[in-house]
């Protein structure tokens, strides 16, 4: 089956001024669409044609780098759109307690997300993740993903330049501050924690 581009869960201008409608039109409509198109071309007529996206990611890791890159980026970007909201949302009581346990406070978590994102070398992703009931911040480089990692990803920040360059130029910390302080979707993270299994692409 051919995969479809996962739609944005909000209007294209809903994240402005942190992320402009222009950035989303390029990032979602061009970058994300290209990953989907390349993945579809790669799986057509193969044993992967009817597999789930998560299964394709797991099967191609270490065996087919091109397919892995495009399938993982398809998943990562869809997850990223949901990791943000027009206005920041609050964590559930369970997530709030785990945040306090792991980081000391929500403000401390936000600061660590910003620091890790700003310090991440080159392109990649910064995740809030859960494993064994404990929260942590994880980083993956380039197209790598936590979708098949043994972690339960709760939310993610994209630190590829195309995520922020039109709005913030080379000032990655400015982008991270705007998203983490104003657009972080902790309700989505709470849903992922409560479900206890890795979010699936739709």
Sketch the domain layout of the chain as residue ranges: 19-202
Length of the chain: 202
**pLDDT (0 to 100) of residue 82:** 98
Return d(Cα 109, Cα 128) in angstroms, integer: 9
Q: Which CATH number fits domain 19-202: 3.90.1150.10, 3.55.40.20, 3.30.420.40, 3.40.50.10070?
A: 3.55.40.20
CB atoms within 10 A of CB 1: 10
pLDDT single digits (tens) 90-105: 999 999 999 999 999 9
**What are the φ and ψ backbone dihedral angles of 37, each rounded to 5 degrees?**
-65, -45
Return d(Cα 150, Cα 143) in angstroms, integer: 17
pLDDT single digits (tens) 65-90: 999 999 999 999 999 999 999 999 99
Q: Is the pLDDT of residue 61 over 80?
A: yes
**pLDDT (0 to 100) of residue 1:** 72
Return d(Cα 152, Cα 170) in angstroms, integer: 31
CB atoms within 10 A of CB 199: 19
* Mean pLDDT in residue range 57-62: 98
């Amino acid at each position: 089956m051919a995969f479809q581009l996962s739609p944005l869960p909000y209007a294209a201008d809903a994240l402005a001024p942190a992320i402009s409608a222009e950035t989303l039109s390029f990032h979602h409509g061009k970058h994300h669409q290209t990953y989907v198109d390349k993945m579809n071309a790669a799986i057509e007529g193969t044993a992967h044609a009817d597999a789930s996206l998560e299964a394709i990611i797991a099967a191609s890791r270490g065996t087919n780098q091109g397919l892995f890159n495009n399938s993982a980026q398809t998943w990562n970007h869809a997850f990223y759109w949901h990791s943000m909201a027009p206005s920041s949302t609050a964590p559930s009581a369970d997530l709030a307690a785990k945040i306090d346990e792991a980081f000391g406070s929500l403000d401390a978590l936000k600061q660590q997300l910003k620091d890790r994102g700003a310090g991440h070398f080159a392109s990649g992703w910064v995740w809030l993740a859960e494993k064994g009931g404990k929260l942590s911040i994880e980083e993956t480089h380039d197209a790598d993903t936590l979708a098949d990692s043994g972690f339960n990803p709760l939310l993610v920040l994209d630190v590829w330049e195309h995520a922020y360059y039109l709005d913030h130029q080379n000032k990655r910390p400015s982008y991270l501050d705007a998203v983490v302080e104003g657009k972080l979707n902790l309700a989505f993270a709470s849903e992922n924690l409560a479900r206890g299994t890795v979010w699936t692409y739709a």
